[in-house]
């Protein structure tokens, strides 16, 4: 049978993609190896050609970087004005998506696909803006460097040593209808750099010494070309699949190796991997699942081959088919494989015909347009891979000696019935009855007993019924033809019935597995408790794999004593050690694997996003576990279990975060209320203490005067705490009022430092302003005064008497930088990470622990940032950088 049915999953994906793209726009990406190759230039040239063809083209955003050649290509194109957004006193301009949607052009140009939008934009990333444009039916041209692809970013960082911050998912490239690679040689790009056509001269020198080294460019160019080649190969497979093209299009070399439960399967895998690497080609392993059970040695051989494929970085394609040749050709067409690699059979001739071992010959005969490489097995390898037929098919009469006895006995009965009916209906009618019996028998019994029955009944018909009776001679030509047709019909019906039964078994097993996996997904997704998830996994796994399940989960940061165990069996100490090895190494181990095979169960890591969340163990309930030969089933169960436990973990995390937020909100409410309630009595206490000191201070004794001083001092400290709490509450609520106005930074500093003068305890205070006579700057004077006051006060509180505090102010066109250094003991490096957290106090601090938190909140209200570190003076350094609004 030469039929190859399309993959239903692939058809479903194509239908869904077609539904999505009916009204959606088309995305074209101009891909390059790095900046400066001419992506924007090529995009603008394509836009000009589109405009000349009558297409309505607008420019959403294009970055020319001051290159006049690129700017010239903008002539004649409508440019959508950029949109400005105010955020914390600063103005940011970027692409106006709403204006483009209102304009509704046929084509819009959106440069730098990996760009990150300013804070306050509707979408965080520009590719999300593009998605919205596409969803509204607008076609988009965009540009992208290969290093910004998520799958390539880590490789680029290893090659160039430069971390890639802006990344886009590979799905963005996959959804593009067309990808055009803009390719120039590294020598040409270096020449452009040296001529200042990419960056300014000073930046070009730095770039040539870092990212744009020739070796880096060669690697990036290869990466861009390989990415494009992979995309082209994917497009080719999709095209062939969409239009049902079965003939092979050998656009690129690729290998498909057929592996099975044989001892030389691993040799085939190694040979294919080696040849594919030598030719720089893709390779994939194909396993055809046929009805029937595998022996223990066969399972071991298959598992070894599967493990080796994964170790060598190959993929595995599982195909359910009763015909190995048909399954391999289906996989080859699905993967667009140019060469199929198979093992050389150990026997041939008549044995191959009788046992169906002539797979290689049939494959070569049917592999139109596909090369077949036959690899010989090692002489020392034993051929113990012949499948067992016993118990393979659920028939009324099972294979074995009893099957022969039953079929022969039934045949004797039918022959006896024929002898009784012979005088009435004649020998030809008796032959038809026996033929009907032989035709029905393949549905009830295996092939071997059916063939014996066919020979027995044919011989009995010749000997006992056909004239001359009781001889093997057939006199009439008609009887000779009937006898020959009898044999042909018996053999054909046996072969067809066996094929139908095997195909039925394949379809039934596939349907059962699909239904059980769907039921597993439904059950675990509907579960809201860990116990329900475990029950669903245990129940469905017993049906799928006929195995007991142990699930071992270690919560984040938990000790060994806190490990949680679920399931239908509990591992002993030895099994538990295997499970912990799997957890630590994120690799499968145990029964049926090459690692720690002494275990009675197979343990598989439950991984989510390259993080192991637990281990799941499968222990066969009987000595034969059919589905254990199919790691695909186990992988699906493990993946479902892993995501289920990850979902529960995330739900718990969300619940804890909500509780923490609620607790923090309640604490803020209480602090606000208490702070406001304390304000009035604090003012009364301070006023009374001041009055006592001023009015009757001369009439008080020394002890009384000290007590009044202590009252006033403590009240002032408490009033400072109340002020800090109110400031913190204001910052948390986002109610910091920012008033941008021209200020004299020197006067602002004098007002900030006036509270500390005159200096006490031999302290020194140095102030340096650059330039010495700075111009007025546009910012909030009140916030600047409070920031400087808090930081200087913090430096005085944490340094011993006689030390110095230095304040350096640098006024630039775009930013204000304030640096405060002291020569005290400095900050413990372990405290730097949380130095700005609220209520964090140093070992010598007597404050509330809110001062630096308030400073950070005030600085961020001005869109600035504050950094703590070690000062050249030996103590602590705090650097505040605040962007300045244009005047």
**Comparing 758 with 666, which gets the higher pLDDT?**
758
Rounded to whole angstroms, the Cα distance separating 676 from 670 reads 10
Superfamily of the domain at 20-242? P-loop containing nucleotide triphosphate hydrolases (3.40.50.300)
Q: 391: number of CA atoms within 13 Å, CB side?
A: 6
| pLDDT for residue 816 is more than 60 | yes
Categorize the per-residue pLDDT at 14 as very low, low, confident or very high, splitting at 50, 70 and 90.
low
What pLDDT is recorded for position 357? 45
Per-residue model confidence (pLDDT) at position 354: 41
Stretch(es) of the chain classified as CATH 3.30.565.10: 741-883
Q: Each residue of 187-232: pLDDT tens digit? A: 888 887 777 767 655 565 556 656 777 777 888 888 888 777 777 6
Mean local confidence (pLDDT), 783-808: 88
Q: Per residue in 459-491, pLDDT tens?
A: 888 888 888 888 888 878 888 888 888 778 777
Quick: pLDDT tens for 692-747.
Answer: 777 776 677 778 778 877 787 777 767 766 776 667 777 777 777 888 888 888 88
Among 5-9, 234-238, 599-603, 730-734, the range scoring the smallest mean pLDDT is 5-9
State the pLDDT at residue 457: 86
Instruction: Assess whether pLDDT exceeds 60 at residue 382.
Output: no
CA distances to 4, 30, 56, 97 from 51, rounded to whole Å, are 46, 18, 6, 21
Give the percent of the chain with pLDDT over 90: 9
Mean pLDDT of the 152-180 span = 81
pTM of the model: 0.43
**Is the confidence at residue 324, as pLDDT, over 90?**
no
Share of the chain above pLDDT 70, in %: 81
Mean pLDDT for the stretch of residues 259-267: 86
Q: What's the topology of domain 254-375?
A: Rossmann fold (3.40.50)
Sign, Cα dihedral of 107, 113, 118, 121: positive
In this prediction, residue 106 carries a pLDDT of: 93
- pLDDT-based confidence at 8, cuts 50/70/90? low
Exposure string over 280-298, b if 16+ CB within 10 A, otherwise e: ebbbbbbbbbbbbbbeeeb
Query: pLDDT at position 61, please?
Result: 92
C-alpha distances in Å from residue 486, one per residue of 434, 451, 456, 604: 9, 12, 12, 55
Task: State pLDDT tens for residues 286-311.
Answer: 998 876 667 777 877 887 888 788 77
Q: Which residue has tokens 């020959």?
A: 484
Residues of the chain with CATH 3.40.50.620: 254-375
What pLDDT is attached to residue 689? 76
Residues spanned by CATH 3.40.50.300 within the chain?
20-242
Which of 8-17, 219-228, 601-610 shows the lowest mean pLDDT across its residues?
8-17
Residues of the chain with CATH 3.30.450.40: 527-735
Instruction: Report, as an integer, the average pLDDT of 49-63.
Output: 92
Q: Give me the half-sphere count of Cα atoms (radius 13 Å) on the Cβ side of residue 500.
A: 10
Homologous superfamily of 527-735: GAF domain (3.30.450.40)
Which among 310, 311, 287 is positioned nearest to 299, based on CA atoms? Answer: 287
Tell me, what's the pLDDT at 559? Answer: 59
Residue 450 to residues 358, 488, 505, 620: CA-CA distances in angstroms?
22, 13, 20, 35
Check whether 378 has a pLDDT greater than 60: no
Mean pLDDT of the chain: 79
Work out the pLDDT band at 78, boundaries 50, 70, 90: very high
Residue 6: pLDDT over 70: no
Query: In terms of pLDDT, which residue wins out, 492 or 695?
Result: 492
Domain 741-883, CATH number (from 3.90.1170.50, 3.30.565.10, 3.40.309.10, 3.40.50.300): 3.30.565.10
HEC-encoded secondary structure of 221-265: HHHHHHHHHHHHHHHHHHHHHHCCCCCCCCCCCEEEEECCCCCCH
């Amino acid at each position: 049978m030469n039929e190859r049915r399309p993959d239903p999953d692939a058809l479903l994906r194509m239908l869904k993609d077609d539904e999505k793209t009916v009204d959606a726009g088309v995305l074209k990406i101009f891909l390059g190896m790095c900046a400066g190759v001419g992506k924007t230039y090529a995009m603008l040239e394509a836009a000009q050609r589109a405009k000349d063809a009558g297409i309505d083209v607008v420019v959403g955003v294009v970055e020319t970087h001051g290159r006049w050649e690129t700017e010239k290509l903008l002539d004649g194109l409508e440019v959508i004005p950029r949109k400005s957004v105010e955020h914390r006193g600063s103005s940011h301009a970027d692409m106006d998506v709403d204006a483009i949607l209102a304009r509704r052009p046929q084509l819009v140009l959106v440069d730098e696909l990996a760009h990150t939008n300013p804070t306050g934009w509707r979408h965080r990333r520009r590719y999300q803006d593009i998605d919205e444009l596409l969803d509204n039916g607008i076609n988009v041209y965009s540009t992208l460097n290969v290093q910004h692809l998520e799958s390539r970013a880590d490789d680029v960082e290893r090659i160039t040593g430069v971390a890639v911050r802006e990344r886009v998912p590979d799905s963005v490239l996959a959804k593009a209808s067309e990808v055009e690679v803009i390719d120039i040689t590294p020598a040409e790009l270096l020449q452009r750099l040296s001529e200042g056509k990419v960056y300014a001269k000073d930046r070009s020198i730095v770039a040539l010494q870092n990212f744009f080294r020739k070796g880096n460019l060669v690697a990036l160019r290869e990466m861009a070309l390989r990415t494009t080649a992979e995309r082209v190969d994917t497009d080719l497979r999709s095209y062939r699949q969409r239009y049902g093209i079965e003939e092979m299009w050998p656009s690129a070399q690729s290998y498909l190796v057929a592996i099975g439960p044989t001892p030389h399967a691993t040799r085939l895998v190694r040979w294919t991997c080696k040849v594919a690497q030598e030719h720089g080609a893709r390779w994939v392993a194909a396993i055809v699942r046929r009805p029937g059970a595998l022996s223990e040695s066969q399972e071991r051989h298959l598992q070894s081959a599967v493990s080796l494929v994964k170790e060598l970085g190959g993929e595995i394609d599982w195909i359910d088919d009763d015909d190995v040749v048909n399954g391999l050709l289906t996989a080859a067409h699905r993967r667009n494989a140019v060469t199929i690699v198979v093992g050389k059979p150990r026997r041939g001739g008549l044995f191959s015909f009788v046992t169906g071992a002539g797979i290689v010959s049939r494959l070569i005969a049917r592999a139109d347009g596909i090369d077949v490489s036959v690899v010989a097995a090692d002489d020392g390898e034993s051929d113990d891979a012949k499948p067992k037929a016993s118990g393979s098919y659920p028939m009324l009469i099972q294979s074995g000696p009893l099957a022969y006895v039953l079929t022969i006995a039934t045949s004797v009965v039918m022959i006896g019935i024929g002898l009784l009916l012979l005088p009435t209906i004649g020998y030809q009618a008796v032959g038809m009855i026996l033929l009907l019996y032989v035709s029905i028998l393949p549905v009830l019994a295996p092939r071997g007993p059916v063939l014996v029955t066919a020979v027995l009944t044919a011989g009995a018909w010749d000997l006992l019924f056909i004239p001359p009776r009781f001889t093997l001679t057939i006199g009439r030509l008609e009887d000779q033809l009937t006898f020959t047709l009898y044999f042909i019909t018996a053999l054909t019906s046996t072969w067809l019935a066996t094929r139908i039964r095997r195909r039925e078994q394949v379809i039934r097993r596939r349907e059962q597995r699909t239904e059980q996996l769907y039921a597993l997904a439904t059950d675990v997704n509907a579960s809201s408790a860990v116990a329900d998830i475990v029950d669903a996994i245990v129940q469905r796994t017993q049906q799928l794999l006929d195995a007991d399940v142990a699930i071992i989960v270690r919560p984040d940061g938990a000790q060994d004593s806190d490990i949680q165990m679920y399931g239908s069996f509990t591992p002993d100490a030895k099994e538990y050690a295997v499970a912990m090895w799997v957890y630590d190494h994120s690799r499968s181990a145990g029964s049926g694997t090459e690692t720690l095979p002494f275990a009675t169960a197979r343990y598989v890591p439950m991984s989510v996003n390259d993080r192991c969340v637990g281990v799941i163990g499968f222990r066969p309930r009987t000595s034969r576990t059919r589905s254990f030969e199919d790691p695909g089933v186990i992988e699906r169960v493990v993946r479902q279990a892993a995501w289920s436990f990850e979902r529960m973990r995330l739900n718990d995390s969300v619940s804890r975060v909500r509780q923490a937020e609620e607790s923090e909100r309640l604490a803020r409410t209480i602090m606000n209320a208490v702070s406001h309630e304390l304000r009035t009595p604090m003012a009364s206490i301070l006023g009374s203490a001041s009055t006592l000191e001023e009015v009757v201070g001369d009439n008080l004794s020394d002890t009384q005067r000290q007590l009044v001083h202590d009252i006033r001092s403590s009240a002032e400290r408490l009033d400072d705490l109340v002020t800090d709490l109110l400031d913190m509450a204001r910052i948390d609520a986002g109610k910091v009022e920012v008033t941008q106005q021209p200020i004299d930074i020197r006067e602002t500093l004098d007002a900030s430092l006036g509270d500390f003068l005159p200096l006490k305890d031999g302290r020194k205070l140095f102030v340096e302003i650059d330039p010495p006579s700075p111009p007025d700057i546009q910012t909030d004077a009140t916030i600047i005064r409070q920031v400087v006051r808090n930081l200087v006060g913090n430096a005085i509180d944490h340094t011993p008497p006689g030390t110095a505090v230095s304040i350096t102010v640098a006024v630039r066109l775009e930013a204000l930088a304030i640096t405060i250094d002291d020569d005290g003991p400095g900050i413990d490096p372990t405290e730097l990470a949380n130095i700005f957290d609220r209520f964090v106090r140093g070992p010598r601090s007597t404050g509330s622990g809110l001062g630096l938190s308030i400073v950070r909140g005030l600085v961020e209200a001005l869109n600035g940032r504050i950094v703590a570190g070690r000062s050249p003076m030996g103590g602590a350094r705090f650097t505040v950088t605040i962007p300045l609004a244009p005047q």
